[in-house]
Amino acid sequence: MTIVHDPETGIDRNTAIDLYRSMRTIRQFETTAGDLFAAGKLPGFIHLSIGQEAVAAGVCAPLEDSDYITTTHRGHGHCLAKGGRMREMMGELFGREGGYALGRSGSMHIADNSVGILGANAIVGGGIPMAVGGALAAKLTGDGQVSVSFFGDGAAAEGVLHECLNIAALWKLPIVFVCEHNGYAEMTPVSVHLANPDVAALAAVYGIPAVKVNGNDVAAVLAASHKAVARARAGEGPSFIEARTNRWRGHFEGDPQKYRHRDELNVMSQQDPLKMWHATLTSEHGLTRDDLDLIDAEIRDRVLTSAAEAEAMAPSDPAGLTRHVYPEAAR
């Protein structure tokens, strides 16, 4: 098992800026969604990935639109990094007809086949076999596609992960398994729910190359993803990435987080992936604080505009509930 600490990635200036834009877009989208939920404007529940942006941005950067991803109930970042349309995502959060699923699915079931987003999934580990199915389809068609499955450490003890690791290794499928190890399965710390918190070791049992990376360092994540995606595209089979990262918010918005120590968030804030990459952009790529402030302002305006447009959409129409469910109703 290889542990990637601080690899020499050779990231050029444009790529470095693109990574920052991706992470900043995810952060702004989710902070805006959190504010809207707190204001009572979003129905249902939302689960935010604030603090985990480097994993989504770094893993998805080497992927093509035709590649597949599956994600979790905490999937806004993955969908945005893969090319999901912000306006339709916001529409889904608002429960509007203009949302991805006509406002019926909400935050936890975003999907967009046009950019390979096979779907977010509210079932712990539920997206893993979907990604394996995508990888099998890619192998059978021979189109060079790669499938990526995002899941948390809470899914590491689910039987479906082990079944999927086994079959992916057995059939040498073009898939990358990505565990976002944030230390919690909903409200349960890893020390309680996993006998061995070294999740990457699970892959080694099946002969799958596995790496552990600092999931707050987007360069380290990108380096691991580049290698895994290239291996899959070359027909060499699956890889496994365990990204150690931090979930700043509770399991869901409104979670009182009584299970966390009050100093934990202070420690996490020192490992903010955006601040870390901000420093890299200024020290290694010649950007100024004003340059980055302009990027931040442009992204903030775009997110807020998307939210305003989504809020103005027509609500999801109950009269069309069976549309796209039964063939006769879809005619």
173 near 237, Cβ under 8 Å? Answer: yes
Q: What are the boundaries of each domain within the chain?
A: 2-318
Looking at residue 1, its pLDDT comes to 42
| Token duo for residue 325 | 């469910």
| CA separation, residue 157 to residues 17, 123, 161, 243 (Å) | 37, 14, 8, 17
Looking at residue 7, its pLDDT comes to 46
Q: Using the CB atoms, write b or e for 168-199: b if 16+ within 10 Å.
A: bbeeebbbbbbbbbbbbbeeeebeeebeebeb
d(CA 152, CA 74): 9
| CA separation, residue 137 to residues 141, 250, 267 (Å) | 6, 36, 43
Does 269 or 59 have the greater pLDDT score?
Answer: 59
d(CA 147, CA 116): 9
> At residue 100, does pLDDT exceed 90?
yes
For the chain, give the mean pLDDT: 92
Looking at residue 10, its pLDDT comes to 77
> At residue 309, does pLDDT exceed 60?
yes
Question: Residue 184 — φ and ψ, nearest 5°?
Answer: -135, 135
Looking at residue 292, its pLDDT comes to 96
Looking at residue 5, its pLDDT comes to 40
How would residue 6 be classed by pLDDT, with cut points 50, 70 and 90? very low
Looking at residue 2, its pLDDT comes to 42
d(CA 204, CA 122): 27
> At residue 264, does pLDDT exceed 90?
no
Looking at residue 328, its pLDDT comes to 62
d(CA 229, CA 236): 10
How do residues 209-230 score in pLDDT, each as one tens digit?
A: 999 999 999 999 999 999 999 9
Q: Which residues are 112's β-sheet partners?
A: 117
Q: What is the pTM of this model?
A: 0.92
**260: exposed, middle or buried (Cβ count in 10 Å: 0-12, 13-18, 19+):** middle
> At residue 193, does pLDDT exceed 50?
yes
| Token duo for residue 195 | 């006998």
* CATH T-level assignment (fold) for domain 2-318: Rossmann fold (3.40.50)
The single-letter DSSP state of residue 262 is T
